[in-house]
Structure 1
Amino acid sequence: MVSSSQTIKLSMEFADAASWHCALVLLVLVLIGSIGANSVSSEEHARGRQIFNRPCDEIYVVGEGETLHTISDKCGDPFIVERNPHIHDPDDVFPGLVIKIIPSTDEKL
């Protein structure tokens, strides 16, 4: 017959083993979660500038159909004309034009 002290001892050993297994499973899940959170998908890699909240490089090449207004909204720089003295007419922006962009510090998120 099993005494009550032996039953308590067996129960404690079982509880100790179960807690170690739970801790190990929890550790593995945390490690897997952190690896998944640190990996960058190919889509995020292609949009790397957006990860750092930088939609535009400092040197920007105007694309087809863009205006200074759309570039200003996209890049967060309301002073494009002031920073680019080579732009004489803000309405005469053409694809391939190189401009300097400096996003404002109070940029919308």
Structure 2
Amino acid sequence: MASSRTPVSYTDAARWYCIIFLFLIVLLGSLTAENSLMDKMNPEVGSTCDEIYVVGEGETLHTISEKCGDPFIVEENPHIHDPDDVFPGLVIKITPSGPLHNF
């Protein structure tokens, strides 16, 4: 007695696995892009800084000052002799100025 099912070839199965895999990559990529867009639309989300801040790759004192709301980073960190000589891993003290500190 012969089976009525047709055998699935390995190439057909591989093709379907590739299609599903590519679909998942596109789906995950769109979710990541959506989250990135939301972060750009609302820059205050996640922009709080701790009192002790470690400088990251590509950051300057200016960008850290804007991000953390501390315009007096150099004055509060006497170990920074040259404001242009900031490197990843440098530890600095952050004192965000609130509405009471801005005159």
TM-score normalised per structure 1: 0.48
1:78-93 to 2 correspondences below 5 Å:
78-93=71-86
How far the C-alpha of 1:54 sits from its partner, in A, is 6.5
**What is residue 10 of structure 1 aligned with on the other side?**
none
Name the SS of the counterpart of 2:92 in structure 1.
strand
Which residue in 2 is equivalent to 1:75?
A: 68
Query: Is 1:60 the counterpart of 2:61 in the alignment?
Result: no
The share of aligned pairs that are identical, in percent, is 81
Q: Which aligned segments of 4 or more residues in structure 1 are displaced greater than 2 angstroms?
A: none
Question: Which ranges of structure 1 fall in alignment gaps of 5 or more residues?
Answer: 1-49
- Structure number with bigger Rg: 1
Find the aligned partners of 1:54 and 1:70 in 2 and give their Cα distance.
Answer: 12
How many residue pairs match? The answer is 58
The C-alpha deviation readout for 1:37-62, integer Å capped at 9, x for no partner, is xxxxxxxxxxxxx77x8610000000
| C-alpha displacement of 1:68 | 0.1
Could you say which residue in structure 2 is the equivalent of 1:98?
91
Q: CA RMSD in A?
A: 2.3
Cα displacement (A) at 1:105 = 1.3
Structure 2 length normalisation: TM-score? 0.51
State the SS of the aligned residue for 2:62.
helix
